[in-house]
């Protein structure tokens, strides 16, 4: 891999900055000053120091973010602030994207990564990855409506929604787990039984639970155990 690409991929600097710093003698590889940022290195073996700081190689980045209200789950800021805007500049340079989306007004857990293969696997309909939400709805849910939501309802697609888990904490609130990711699925499910979602927060995705210590808009790296649990899903 080219040195300038390595530094850019790690979020350390732009390629143009890498070239300038190399010419200034501020980059070393294996202890030797390198003045040509186009040189090829072995990211997993070579020791790279940029402006006095060693740059550790990480092929992929995995982040948990507690999405606030009004922020888009995208990488394009054409319609307002995005979840990527909530990250520091060095991470924004790493080509990160949300693994799946939450509606603009839906809160809670987002996994952000640059591992496209893993994201594709987690979002594949054939994998039935579980997603759990805390909800509030406009009207009390009857026992029959709750049972319909559990069994599957017609939301206007080729087939009804798959079986879901639903538990009520009040007449208008509770927790629901679905195993697919149709567009606006939870909202459309409740509309199918004549109700309306007024609050929705994702609290778990693929077995990863939202860290209760994260305030809205805050983030942290996934732990090694959390990453392994995602990567080892069958």
Q: How many residues does the chain have?
A: 234
Q: Exactly one of 17, 46, 103, 211 is catalytic; which is it? A: 103
23, 60 Cβ separation under 8 angstroms: no
Angle at 199 between CA 181 and CA 121, to 5 degrees: 20
42 part of the active site: no
C-alpha to C-alpha distance for 83 and 42, rounded to whole angstroms: 32
**C-alpha pair distances (Å), 72 with each of 83, 163, 197, 202, 212:** 6, 28, 19, 15, 21
β partners of residue 176: 133, 166
Catalytic site positions: 103
């Amino acid at each position: 891999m080219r040195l300038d690409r390595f530094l850019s991929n790690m979020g350390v600097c732009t390629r143009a900055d890498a070239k300038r710093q190399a010419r200034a003698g501020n980059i070393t590889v294996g202890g030797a000053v390198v003045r040509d940022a186009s040189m090829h290195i072995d990211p997993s073996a070579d020791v790279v120091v940029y402006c006095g700081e060693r740059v550790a190689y990480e092929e992929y980045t995995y982040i948990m973010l507690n999405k606030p209200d009004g922020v888009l789950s995208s990488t394009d800021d054409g319609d307002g602030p995005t979840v990527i805007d909530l990250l520091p500049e060095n991470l924004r340079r790493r080509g990160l994207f949300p693994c799946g989306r939450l509606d603009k007004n839906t809160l809670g857990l987002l996994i952000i990564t640059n591992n496209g293969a893993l994201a594709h696997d987690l979002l594949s309909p054939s994998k039935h990855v579980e997603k759990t939400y805390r909800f509030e709805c406009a009207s009390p849910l009857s026992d029959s409506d709750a049972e319909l939501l559990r069994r599957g309802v017609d939301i206007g697609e080729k087939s009804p929604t798959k079986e879901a888990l639903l538990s009520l904490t009040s007449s208008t609130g509770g927790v629901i787990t679905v195993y697919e990711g149709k567009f606006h699925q939870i909202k459309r499910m409740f509309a199918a039984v004549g109700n309306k979602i007024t609050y929705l927060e994702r609290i778990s995705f693929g077995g990863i639970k939202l860290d209760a210590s994260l305030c809205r808009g805050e983030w942290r790296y996934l732990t090694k155990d959390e990453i392994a649990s995602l990567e080892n899903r069958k």
